[in-house]
């Protein structure tokens, strides 16, 4: 094997997670991800079955309790402590792999759609219909949503060469990818020298071929003799990166599903999953492409965190009533579209353009940086605060009934749910404290990142350039805290205690 013939070189700082005794072996294994996905597919099937034939009560059905209470809580904890392991184990990519193996994908995703606009639209639609259709309360609709996800990922993978669904469309993937930028892990190569000599670039191209093909790489590592390495492509070869990331050039977790296909495909054992300083990429200028779609996605997700929580507190219903009385908007659909349109799209877009314009005007740097470049410099700084808002919200629902899913599973398996035994809850004051810490930590982390960005852009006038963004952070944090101190609907658990 090539990996045994090459000298071991490591240029990256951080622990190589894939060298850990048990976990590393499982993840590196040819069928490691498949095993995880197969397990998650069985779980998804259980959810669909319960959603269609189980009790149509939100708190007693796996199709509602699992995704809308537990998965969301698990997602934010996993992103914070490990990385994007939810995308790694995502069952929706199993049909994707099947489509790829059947060589169905033929053409590239349309060039004009190779950005995050569809993902922003998908996130908007998901949160809108979650609220409008009360998705959290309908096991039947939730089961349909899971099926739609499976079909969409298969169809898109069958049509296009790259993983268009994960990279450009999936709202859950967009959420995970943005917030995995503050995770303590990332994909990196061990030696840039090896990549420079590598001919096949299998990490992105894959090593799959209908028939066996032998290739010779001459690897040149500084200070060592050149090594001739045999690389075998064939029917048992691995897929390359579905989202078309080239391992030696990866600067961000954006677009990385942590699938580890690059690790398995690299014939020189040169790619791995490394630990890093949480959020390290967020303070580097060149980590994210300077694009409006990416900037708006990062900023809008913070606002969506506010609107999602706002939909569960009394002032939301008061606002709906006011809209009906003052503007004659009796249609819930239109009223919700208006509220979410303003909160989730107009406000973030206004902030991106307005704060960038103000910062440039106050510092006198209008001529040097465009609005797009200025917004792009500050957009990543929204990640910690946005994450803090989501963490505070999701951890609340999770900690109010941390094991209430167990009686739901008992009933799904045909037993009697032991609701009394598993209805324990964390003290409400302790939950409030966790929410406050999450918000404050997100706020100060965002502020620190924005300060670094302002120093980079405006040097001695950094304070002036920072002001508009700091004000937005403060307002977002206060709005979130105000919402979290109000009585919140206990979606998915309320009817148990009513
Ligand atoms: S990561 Fe591996 S496959 Fe990719 S360029 Fe480097 S050596 Fe080649
Ligand atoms: S193949 Fe691409 S998406 Fe998968 S882990 Fe490697 S870089 Fe990330």
The alpha helices in 133-237, defined as continuous H runs, are: 139-159, 164, 171-179, 192-197, 202-205
pLDDT category at 357 given cuts 50, 70, 90 is very high
- pLDDT at residue 182 is higher than 70: yes
Reading the block at residue 236, the tokens are 């048992």
Q: Which atom of ligand 2 is nearest to the CA of 255?
A: 3
Average model confidence (pLDDT) for the chain? Answer: 90
Q: Which has more confidence, 78 or 230?
A: 78
pLDDT digits (tens, 9 = 90+) for 110-155: 999 999 999 999 999 999 999 999 998 999 999 999 999 888 888 8
Q: Are 64 and 142 in contact (CB under 8 A)?
A: yes
Q: Averaging pLDDT over each range in 105-109, 191-195, 235-239, 324-328, which range is the top one?
A: 191-195
Instruction: Tell me which residue of 401, 407, 390, 420 sits closest to 484, measured CA to CA.
Output: 390
Ligand 2 pocket test, pick from 88, 166, 261 with the greatest ligand atom count within 8 Å of Cβ, gives: 261
pLDDT over 90 (residue 415): yes
Q: Is 194 in the pocket of ligand 1 (CB under 6 A)?
A: yes
- Which residue's CA lies nearest to atom 2 of ligand 1? 266
Of the pLDDT bands very low, low, confident and very high (cuts 50, 70, 90), residue 456 is very high
Lowest-pLDDT choice from 76-80, 147-151, 158-162, 404-408: 158-162
What is the whole-number distance in angstroms between the Cα of residue 12 and the centre of ligand 1? 15
The residues pairing with 234 across neighbouring beta strands, listed in sequence order, are 208
> Region 77-94: what's the mean pLDDT?
91
Q: What is the CA angle 21-27-33, rounded to 5? A: 155
For ligand 1, atom 6: residue with the closest CA = 195
Query: Bigger pLDDT: 160 or 430?
Result: 430
Nearest-CA residue for atom 4 of ligand 2 = 259
Structure tokens at 40: 């998650």
In the chain, the percentage of residues whose pLDDT exceeds 90 is: 67
**Mean pLDDT to the nearest integer, 281-297:** 93
Q: Looking at ligand 1, which residue's alpha carbon is closest to its atom 7? A: 195
Q: Is the pLDDT of residue 330 over 90?
A: no
Closest CA to 62 of 42, 74, 48: 48
What ranges do the domains of the chain cover?
A: 2-14+188-275, 18-185, 289-497
- pLDDT tens string 391-402: 999 999 899 889
- Average pLDDT score over residue span 191-217: 89
- Best residue among 197, 248, 263 to mutate for probing ligand 1, ranked by most atoms within 8 Å of CB: 248
Q: How far apart are alpha carbons 281 and 279 in whole angstroms? A: 5
Q: Give 497's pLDDT tier (boundaries 50, 70, 90).
A: very low
Beta bridge partners of 190: none
Say what the pLDDT of residue 93 is.
75
CA 414 – CA 18 distance, rounded (Å):
40
Q: Which residue has the higher pLDDT, 176 or 369?
A: 176
pLDDT higher than 90, residue 494? no
* Residue recorded with tokens 């249609």: 331
> Average pLDDT in the 355-367 region?
89
Q: Which one of the ligands is nearest to 173 CA?
A: 2
Which of 266, 267, 269 to mutate to test ligand 1, by most ligand atoms within 8 A of the CB atom? 266
Q: Is 373 exposed, middle or buried (0-12, 13-18, 19+ CB in 10 A)?
A: middle
**pLDDT surpasses 90 at 96:** no
Per-residue confidence (pLDDT) for residue 154, from 0 to 100: 81
Asked if pLDDT for residue 2 goes beyond 60, the answer is no
pLDDT greater than 80 at residue 498: no
Query: Under a CB-based contact definition with an 8 Å cutoff, are residues 183 and 84 in contact?
Result: yes
CA dihedral 372, 378, 382, 384 (to 10 degrees): 140
CA distances from 37 to 45, 56, 73, 263 (A): 12, 27, 19, 17
In this structure, are residues 106 and 159 in contact, taking their beta carbons and an 8 Å threshold? yes
Mean pLDDT of 369-379: 94
Atom in ligand 1 nearest the alpha carbon of residue 204: 4
Are 486 and 313 in contact by the 8 Å Cβ rule? The answer is yes
Task: With beta carbons less than 8 A apart as the criterion, state whether 98 and 303 touch.
Answer: no
pLDDT number for residue 11: 65
User: Residue 392: its pLDDT value, please?
Assistant: 96
Nearest to 320 by CA among 141, 40, 131: 131
Length reported for the chain = 498
294 vs 155, residue with greater confidence: 294
pLDDT of 42 higher than 90: yes
Least-confidence region, from 50-54, 256-260, 416-420, 485-489: 485-489
């Amino acid at each position: 094997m090539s990996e045994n013939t090459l000298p071991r070189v490591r240029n990256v700082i951080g622990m190589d997670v894939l060298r850990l005794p048990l976990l590393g072996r499982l993840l590196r294994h040819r069928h490691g991800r498949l095993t995880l996905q197969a397990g998650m597919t069985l779980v998804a099937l259980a959810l669909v079955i319960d959603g269609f034939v189980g009790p149509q009560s939100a708190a007693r059905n796996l199709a509602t309790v699992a995704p809308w209470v537990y998965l969301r809580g698990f997602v934010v904890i996993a992103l914070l402590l490990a990385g994007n392991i939810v995308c790694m184990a995502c069952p929706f990519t199993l049909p994707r792999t099947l489509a790829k193996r059947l060589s169905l994908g033929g053409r590239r995703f349309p060039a004009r759609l190779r950005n995050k606009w569809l993902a922003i639209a998908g996130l908007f639609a998901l949160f809108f219909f979650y609220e409008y259709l009360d998705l959290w309360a309908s096991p039947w609709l939730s089961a349909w949503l899971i099926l739609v996800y499976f079909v969409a990922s298969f169809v898109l993978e069958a049509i296009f060469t790259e993983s268009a669904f994960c990279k450009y469309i999936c709202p859950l993937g967009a959420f995970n990818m943005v917030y995995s930028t503050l995770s303590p892990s990332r994909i990196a190569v061990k030696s840039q020298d090896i990549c420079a000599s590598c001919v096949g670039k299998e990490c992105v191209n894959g090593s799959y071929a209908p028939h066996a093909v032998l290739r010779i790489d001459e690897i040149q590592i500084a200070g060592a003799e050149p090594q001739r390495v045999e690389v075998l492509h064939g029917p048992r070869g691995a897929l390359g990166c579905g989202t078309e990331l080239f391992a030696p050039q990866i600067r961000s977790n954006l677009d990385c599903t942590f699938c580890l296909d690059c690790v398995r495909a690299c014939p020189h054992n040169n790619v791995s999953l490394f630990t890093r300083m949480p959020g390290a990429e967020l303070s580097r200028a060149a980590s994210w492409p300077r694009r409006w779609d990416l900037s708006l996605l990062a900023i809008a997700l913070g606002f969506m965190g506010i609107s999602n929580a706002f939909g569960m507190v009394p002032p939301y219903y008061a606002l709906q009533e006011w809209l009906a009385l003052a503007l004659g908007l009796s249609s819930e659909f239109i009223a919700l579209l208006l509220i979410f349109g303003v909160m989730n799209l107009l406000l973030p877009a206004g902030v991106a353009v307005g704060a960038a314009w103000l910062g440039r005007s106050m510092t006198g740097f209008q001529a040097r940086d465009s609005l797009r470049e200025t917004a792009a410099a500050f957009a990543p700084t929204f990640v910690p605060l946005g994450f803090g808002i989501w963490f505070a919200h999701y951890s609340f629902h999770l900690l109010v009934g941390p094991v209430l899913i167990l009686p739901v599973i008992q009933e799904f398996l045909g037993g009697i749910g032991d609701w009394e035994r598993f209805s324990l809850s964390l003290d409400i004051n302790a939950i409030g404290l966790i929410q406050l810490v999450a918000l404050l930590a997100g706020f100060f982390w965002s502020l620190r990142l924005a300060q670094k960005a302002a120093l980079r852009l405006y040097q001695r006038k950094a304070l002036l350039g920072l002001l508009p963004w700091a004000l937005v952070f403060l307002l977002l944090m206060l709005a979130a805290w105000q919402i979290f101190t109000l009585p919140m609907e206990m979606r998915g658990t309320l009817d148990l205690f009513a």
